[in-house]
Amino acid sequence: MQRWQRVGWAVVVAVVGNSATSTTAIAGEVQSEATPEVPVEVPVEVPIEPAATTVSEWVAQIEAALLQITRVRVEVTETGLQVILETADGSLPVPETRSIGNALIADIPNATIAEEFSQAEPIEGIALVSVTQLPNNRVRVAITGTDVPPVAEVTSEAQGLAFAVTLGDAETATEEDAIQVVVTGEQDEGYNPSNATTATRTDAPLWDIPQAITVIPRQVLEDRNVRTVNEAIQTVPSVVDGGDIFGSPAGGRLIRGFDNGFSAGGTDNLRDGVPDGGYIDIVPIGTTERVEVLRGPASILYGNVEPGGVVNRVTRQPLSEPYYQVALEVGNYGYVQPSIDLSGSLTADENVLYRLIAGYERSDYIQPFVEEELITIAPSLTVNLGDQTNLNFYYEYARFFSDAPKTDAAFLSDGSLTPRDLYLGYPIPGLYAITTHRLGYRLRHEFSENLQLRHNFAISLAEFIDNRSGALDTIEDDRFFTLGTSENESTQNRYFGQIDLLAKFETGSIAHQLLIGFDARHIDDHYTALFDPNVPVFDIRNPNYDYAPDEVIPEFDRLSRLTGYAVYLQDQIELSDNWNLLVGGRYDWLSNDTQGGEPGELSTREGGLIQNDGAFSPRIGIVYQPSDAVSLYASYSRSFAPTFGVSRDDSFFEPSRGTQYEVGVRTDWLDRRLSTTLAAYQITKTNVTTDDPDNPDFQIQTGEQRSRGIELEIGGEILPGWNIIASYAYTDAEVTEDTVFAGNQVGGVPEHQASLWTTYQIQSGILEGLGFGLGLFYVGERPGDVSNTQTLDSYFRTDAALYYRRDRFNAAINVSNLFDNDYALAGSGVFAVRNEPFTITGSVSWKF
């Protein structure tokens, strides 16, 4: 077995048995070792200290309860080696040891380590010795044998702990001990993850990425108890929540001043690094391990995207160790959600692993008529075809159903919103349903320690039925609303395939990690709409819901087929110990065939509208690390998105282009427990369509938008048990060129935005496991749309959490919008997307 494979396995087995995230070298592949903790008997009595009455006493108790490992030494002996953990204050308890694969594992409670330690191949027969920090103030010692797990005698010393290690007996090793899965990974790093896959399609340290990226790990998703991806990324700077547009759970968002849109077959939403759907797709949060937000142009790896960035949902993967969790959530408005998460091995040799995640969710709403249901079923299977090949199959079914969709609000003449509990429309008999099927596979084969092949194939099938009333047109006397009704059906089928090679090599003293690949995609999008031209006027003071469509006539029937191919090349270059270079480029070929549309559209002409585009998207970035605690970077990148349509002279539009310049600094504090990132950027989007001054029925491509901003984010652990995520963003998004709106601010983008989420969990004593959380979210005032005729007020929201976690039991109470503030998330003209009201949820779960 190759050396890097042994070391990679050593890192993985070093995290088995804990709620952890194991990130593979493939973008989007995660081996989440969230297994039940193994009880550790501590042969000492810990006296219960009196309750702290001041902050100083509280901090002192926390620090006094922990022993810090100040140094790790590995010494070669006649029989093997000795691993010594030194402390300055006293002896460590003797932990139990266990073998997983080829590794000997020991977890030490109530301990911290000043600096994590690892040493590869200290002697023949030992692949790796590592000592790492785990959540909940535990330190893990992992000693991995080359072929079999070693044996160790552990003794407590006056100032530490000693492991006398001898090699295991190969003759007594069973087949179950053999290494079957070779992956690289990391332990759960809580609120301060160190690696990400979205920026490079490799498992890259954040310190080596010359572009702003935020990782929201599983622990944060659970602490906040988020229900949607939009909720999950509310702590990310420069991300503005657009709310549940038209009742769709997918919602809308802006990133760095640009709409993270779902049009033109874009790939702004990713699932495990694969293009995912948009408005008509359901994105279940229960199958999500973490969310990564790459801000700025991402076309180098993902093709046609808006320049603001991409959101990648990384899913939970099968585990080798048994993991079973049952959970129940209940809340106001009749909310209830039971769920299960089951994983383990189907074979004794752990060559076939499975995971099944399923949940059912239902709720009412503050508006009458609204009853929502969400069903999620997500099985997955990993087959290890030897030491160097693994294959993962997955299927994800999600169905959202509502008797009547939530209606949006409207602005009255004084700027206020219509009553929150008013159903502003007619509850047309029928249904509002979104069904999504996702299925596919991922294959990885390692030819050698320096070369691997990766292949993805994904299918996404989505159906959307929307029978509704409520498209607001006009208001009279702040009372009478002219509404429209429509019957909409849409299907969107996406097919995606990708293959690439990842090679590691050196040219002299310079190390390279070269990625070269090809991908192809095809999207069929069919949308039809019928409408009733005889809808009665709606009186908000005396609403009469006794209405059914009398006559419906065709309004829209469009079939669009998008086909794309691309080749890409990227090189991660380590010039020296403190200089790194990232360079790459991608070329896309796109073809779009549109048939039909609204009457009078050019796409209804004979033969339809067939458009072919091509674009090159480069990226180059440099990283300088003057010390272990500071990383400076600068980058240049471009993106593109196709613009479908023709101008007045019947010529096709060119793709819009985004160009970004970015600089930033990342720093670590408190022995790498806390990290900060400060970034400054400018993005210019060109080839934006604007009204043709000579004929308003057409458009021309002379528009330009520019976004400049500064972002600050902080994440990690301040003190043992005290975690924090904080962010601030200043954004200046302006329409720099336009025939009508030049000089205006981009709609929906605030200049100032800030957020804070912090938790504290008691670490010892009779209240150990009790925790508290507080969230503060601020979004400044912003124009409703590009016309700048309307200003949306700023808003401030408060969230809170109370939870108790002990062993395998977890109970929590989460509150969103604690003070029931009422505001508009987005709006244009009379239209407004409203925030959610006060929401409280209680949850219990058990792992076994």
- Which domain, by its residues, includes 231? 207-315
In one letter, which amino acid is 593?
Answer: D
Nearest to 688, CA basis, from 729, 725, 641: 641
Q: How many CB atoms lie within 10 A of CB 197?
A: 26
pLDDT, tens digit, 9 for 90 and up, residues 446-466: 999 899 999 999 999 999 888
Q: Are residues 611 and 516 in the same domain?
A: yes
- The dihedral over CA atoms of 197, 203, 208, 210, expressed in degrees to the nearest 10, equals -20
Nearest to 204, CA basis, from 520, 650, 666: 666
Whether 188 is covered by a domain: the verdict is no
Angle at 344 between CA 343 and CA 345, to 5 degrees: 145
pLDDT, tens digit, 9 for 90 and up, residues 792-820: 999 999 999 999 998 889 999 999 999 99
Contact predicate 679/666, CB 8 Å: no
pLDDT value, residue 530: 85
Q: Are residues 280 and 360 in the same domain?
A: no
In one letter, which amino acid is 626?
Answer: P
Alpha carbons 725 and 717: distance in angstroms, whole number:
9
How far separated are the first and last CA of the chain, in Å rounded? 34
Contact predicate 126/119, CB 8 Å: no
Alpha carbons 823 and 425: distance in angstroms, whole number:
20
Nearest to 228, CA basis, from 263, 253, 198: 253
Angle at 138 between CA 134 and CA 140, to 5 degrees: 70
Tokens of 372: 């929502």
CATH, residue 273: 2.170.130.10
The per-residue b/e assignment along 666-698, b for 16 or more CB within 10 angstroms, e otherwise, is bebeeebbbbebbbebebbbbbbbbbeeeeeeb
CATH, residue 694: 2.40.170.20
Q: Are residues 311 and 327 in the same domain?
A: no
The contacts of residue 126 (CB under 8 Å, 6+ apart) are: 80, 81, 143, 144, 145, 146, 150, 165, 167
Beta strands in 780-823 (DSSP E): 782-783, 791-792, 795-806, 809-816
The contacts of residue 174 (CB under 8 Å, 6+ apart) are: none
pTM to 2 decimal places = 0.80
Q: Are residues 296 and 232 in the same domain?
A: yes
Q: Is 70 exposed, middle or buried (0-12, 13-18, 19+ CB in 10 A)?
A: middle
Identify the residue whose tokens are 């609303």. 481
What Å distances lie between residue 160 and 85, 88, 115, CA to CA?
5, 8, 15
- The dihedral over CA atoms of 238, 239, 240, 243, expressed in degrees to the nearest 10, equals 180
Alpha carbons 512 and 574: distance in angstroms, whole number:
6
Tokens of 185: 């990974």
The contacts of residue 636 (CB under 8 Å, 6+ apart) are: 618, 619, 620, 621, 659, 660, 661, 662
pLDDT value, residue 484: 78
Contact predicate 299/617, CB 8 Å: yes
Beta strands in 22-102 (DSSP E): 22-23, 30-31, 67-76, 80-87, 97-100
Alpha carbons 227 and 535: distance in angstroms, whole number:
35
Beta strands in 692-808 (DSSP E): 699-719, 722-737, 752-761, 770-779, 782-783, 791-792, 795-806
What Å distances lie between residue 43 and 109, 151, 708, CA to CA?
12, 21, 59
pLDDT value, residue 597: 66
DSSP 147-173: SS--EEEEEEETTEEEEEEE---GGG-
SS3 letters for 302-364?
Answer: HCCCCCCEEEEEEECCCCCCCEEEEEEEEECCCEEEEEEEEEEECCCCCCEEEEEEEEEEEEC
Tokens of 561: 């087929």
Contact predicate 258/266, CB 8 Å: no
Q: How many CB atoms lie within 10 A of CB 816?
A: 24
pLDDT value, residue 471: 58
In this structure, the strands spanning 138-145 and 103-109 are: antiparallel
Contact predicate 362/372, CB 8 Å: yes
pLDDT value, residue 11: 37
Alpha carbons 58 and 50: distance in angstroms, whole number:
10
Tokens of 694: 């000579």
Last residue of a domain, one of 315, 334, 355: 315
pLDDT, tens digit, 9 for 90 and up, residues 525-580: 998 988 887 888 889 999 988 887 777 787 788 898 999 999 999 999 999 989 99
Whether 186 is covered by a domain: the verdict is no
Tokens of 672: 């790498």
Whether 189 is covered by a domain: the verdict is no
pLDDT value, residue 633: 98
Q: Are residues 389 and 516 in the same domain?
A: yes
Q: Are residues 662 and 784 in the same domain?
A: yes
Beta strands in 245-305 (DSSP E): 253-255, 258-259, 269-271, 274-275, 288-295
The per-residue b/e assignment along 555-569, b for 16 or more CB within 10 angstroms, e otherwise, is bbbbbbbbbbbbebe
Q: Are residues 638 and 787 in the same domain?
A: yes
Whether 197 is covered by a domain: the verdict is no
Whether 193 is covered by a domain: the verdict is no
DSSP reduced 3-state for 571 = strand
- With a cut of 50, which residues of the chain have pLDDT below it? 1-49, 55, 59, 171-187, 262-265, 599-600, 602-604
Whether 340 is covered by a domain: the verdict is yes
Q: Are residues 105 and 254 in the same domain?
A: no
Q: Are residues 149 and 292 in the same domain?
A: no
In this structure, the strands spanning 795-806 and 770-779 are: antiparallel
Angle at 464 between CA 462 and CA 467, to 5 degrees: 175
Alpha carbons 195 and 188: distance in angstroms, whole number:
11
Backbone phi, psi, residue 12, to 5°:
-65, -50
Last residue of a domain, one of 265, 296, 315: 315
CATH, residue 105: 2.60.40.3500
Q: Are residues 173 and 260 in the same domain?
A: no
Q: Are residues 72 and 219 in the same domain?
A: no
Q: Are residues 464 and 605 in the same domain?
A: yes
The contacts of residue 434 (CB under 8 Å, 6+ apart) are: 248, 249, 280, 281, 282, 398, 399, 400, 462, 463, 464, 465
pLDDT value, residue 705: 95
Last residue of a domain, one of 264, 282, 315: 315
Whether 506 is covered by a domain: the verdict is no
DSSP 80-100: EEEEEEEESS-PPPPPPEEEE
pLDDT value, residue 42: 42
Whether 191 is covered by a domain: the verdict is no
The contacts of residue 307 (CB under 8 Å, 6+ apart) are: 256, 258, 296, 297, 639, 658, 659, 660, 683, 685
Nearest to 207, CA basis, from 579, 644, 593: 579
Nearest to 7, CA basis, from 126, 175, 106: 126
Q: What total of structural domains would you count in the chain?
A: 3
Contact predicate 739/693, CB 8 Å: yes
Tokens of 46: 């810990």
